[in-house]
């Protein structure tokens, strides 16, 4: 089992397969994607070696991220490879939903268990203003299709003061009759969005208090669950999750490691650098990779230090899929 010096165990791998994204979200890539780094993304064979190694070290959940992972034509093959790896019990995908309606059936057939879709507003015009794409209707149809296929669906919405802070009631109404988990995420500061962060960061703590005062109960976290504090209500078909990275002790429950699309290990989303382990991946050296992962995990820190304004090497969230 992968375990760090603070006793945290890592059941959950967030695997980026590309840093390319076709959206231009205001908080991430407001000027669109710019190719400013090596784009020698890992092959399916390399991904197979990587996931197999993590599984042998106790990882049970893999989340495929980007950028936008659906921009890779071999995404179904990658899903299939992850799902067929012994020890991997759950394969998830994080996407902007652009290809969801068209491709979700193929993804489900490949072995996908759950999907996270980014929807920062339920107002079509505001959605287009945030993302640069007038595609909310097709994404919502894609979510309906995913639910019919039996996939677990989570919807991510980044809280922003100047954009969607007033939409909480609309989101609640949607969850009333829709069996999704809506995760409201506090805006995080990255290297490229300092001014935007200062103008738009909203604490989710008041929303948590509002939920508790309105009869919502907190869900007990699974060992491979993400960082959200999740809440349920008997009168609602869906759940509400809050991701509050600036809250006290947020990192105490960390259970996930990240691999970039070019085969670098990131011990934290906001680590100072990615650690190059690709030589083991390319060589198919699972034993060497296991030993290297165990050794490198000794350098994982207790906190992301976001509360101190440190953002490490993360210029924008598309680099590692958040």
pLDDT of 255 higher than 60: yes
| pLDDT mean across residues, the chain | 89
Q: What is the pLDDT of residue 84?
A: 98
The residue among 274 and 207 whose pLDDT is bigger is: 207
DSSP calls for 139-196: HHHHHHHHHHTT-EEEEEEEE-TTTTGGGHHHHHHHHHHS--EEEEEE----TT-HHH
Q: What is the pLDDT of residue 113?
A: 98
Give the pLDDT confidence of 272-307 residue by residue, as tens digits. 678 999 999 999 999 999 999 999 988 877 654 455
Per-residue confidence band for 249, with pLDDT thresholds at 50, 70 and 90 = low
Reduced to 3 states (helix: H, G, I; strand: E, B; else coil), residue 47 is: helix
pLDDT of 225 higher than 80: no
**Nearest by Cα to 117 from 131, 97, 103:** 97
Give the pLDDT confidence of 84-116 residue by residue, as tens digits. 999 999 999 999 999 999 999 999 999 999 999
Note whether 181 and 238 are within 8 A (CB).
yes
DSSP 8-state assignment for residue 99: T
Tokens representing 294?
């165990």
pTM of the model: 0.90
- Give the side-chain half-sphere CA count within 13 A for 307: 11
pLDDT of 312 higher than 80: no
Residues 6+ away with beta carbon under 8 Å from 144: none
Note whether 62 and 15 are within 8 A (CB).
yes
* Beta pairing, strands 239-243 & 229-232: antiparallel
Q: What is the pLDDT of residue 302?
A: 66
The residue among 4 and 183 whose pLDDT is bigger is: 183
**Nearest by Cα to 141 from 79, 99, 111, 184:** 99
Q: What is the pLDDT of residue 250?
A: 63
Residues 156 and 142: their CA atoms lie apart, in Å, by 15
Per-residue confidence band for 217, with pLDDT thresholds at 50, 70 and 90 = very high
Domains of the chain: 12-154+250-319 (3.20.20.70)
Q: What is the pLDDT of residue 281?
A: 98
pLDDT of 81 higher than 90: yes
């Amino acid at each position: 089992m992968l375990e760090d010096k603070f006793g945290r165990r890592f059941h959950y791998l967030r695997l980026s397969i590309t840093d390319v994204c076709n959206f231009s979200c205001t908080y991430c890539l407001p000027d669109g994607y710019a190719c400013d780094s090596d784009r020698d993304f890992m092959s399916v064979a390399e991904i197979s070696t990587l996931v197999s190694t993590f599984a042998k070290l106790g990882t049970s959940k893999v989340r495929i991220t980007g950028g936008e992972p659906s921009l890779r034509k071999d995404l179904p093959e990658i899903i299939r490879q992850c799902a067929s790896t012994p020890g991997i019990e759950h394969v998830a995908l994080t996407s902007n939903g652009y290809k969801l309606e068209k491709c979700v059936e193929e993804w489900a057939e490949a072995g996908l268990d759950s999907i996270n879709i980014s929807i920062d507003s339920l107002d079509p015009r505001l959605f287009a203003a945030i993302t640069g794409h007038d595609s909310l209707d097709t994404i919502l149809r894609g979510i309906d299709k995913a639910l019919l296929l039996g996939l677990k669906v989570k919807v991510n919405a980044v809280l922003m003061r100047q954009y969607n802070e007033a939409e909480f009631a609309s989101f609640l109404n949607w969850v009333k009759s829709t069996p999704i988990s809506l995760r409201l995420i506090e805006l995080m500061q990255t290297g490229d969005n300092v001014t935007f962060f200062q103008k738009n960061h909203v604490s989710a703590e008041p929303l948590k208090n509002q939920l508790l005062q309105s009869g919502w109960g907190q869900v007990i976290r699974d060992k491979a669950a993400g960082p959200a504090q999740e809440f349920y209500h008997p009168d609602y078909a869906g759940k509400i999750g809050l991701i509050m990275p600036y809250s006290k002790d947020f990192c105490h429950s960390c259970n996930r490691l990240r691999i970039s699309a070019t085969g670098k290990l990131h011990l934290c989303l906001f680590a100072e650098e990615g650690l190059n382990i690709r030589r083991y991946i390319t060589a198919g050296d699972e034993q060497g990779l296991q030993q290297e992962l165990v050794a490198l995990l000794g350098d994982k820190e207790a906190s992301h230090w976001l509360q101190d304004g440190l953002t490490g090497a993360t210029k924008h969230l598309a680099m590692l899929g958040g």
